[in-house]
Amino acid sequence: MAKDLRITFLLDFYGDMLTEKQREVVEAYYNEDLSLAEIAEDKDITRQGVRDAIKRAEAQLLEMEERLGLAKRFKSVQDALTIICDCALRIQEINQDGLNNSEINQNVIQIIACARDLAMEE
């Protein structure tokens, strides 16, 4: 069974919406890199039972993302914040090469600080 690494990312967003058993099995498979046989032995279920639980959980995670889009939104916000910080740094660089306006520098510092704070909250 090939691993879809998107599932690890989606697990961070929607893992709490799975049953405890599903979450444990998926985390063991994706995050701990255990084999189906290892998980089956640990959980005292069949290898096929583990595979079925993982497949059901994957389907649920993908459906939740399709409906809610939280992971996609998170990535979009992170990408936008990176662009904002890059642009602010470029403005600061241009300012230092020319005007050297302290108000511009203060605004750049504030923009970067706010963007980094938002990135940490996400």
- Report the share of the chain in percent with pLDDT over 90: 82
Instruction: Enter the CATH code of domain 6-68.
Output: 1.10.10.10
Q: What is the DSSP letter of 31?
A: T
Q: How many C-beta neighbours within 10 Å does residue 53 have?
A: 23
The mean pLDDT value for 117-121 works out to: 84
Q: Distance between CA atoms of 81 and 104, rounded to whole angstroms?
A: 19
Q: Which pLDDT does position 2 carry in this prediction? A: 67
Residue 119 has pLDDT above 90, yes or no: no
> Taking the domains of the chain in order of start, what are their residue ranges?
6-68, 72-121
- pLDDT, position 122: 62
- Among 3, 117, 100, 99, which Cα is nearest to 51's? 3
How far is it, in rounded angstroms, from Cα 73 to Cα 56?
A: 24
Measured between alpha carbons, how far is 82 from 112 in angstroms, rounded to an integer? 10
pLDDT of 16 over the 70 cut = yes
At residue 4 the predicted structure's pLDDT band, cuts being 50, 70 and 90, is confident
Residue 120 has what pLDDT?
Answer: 83
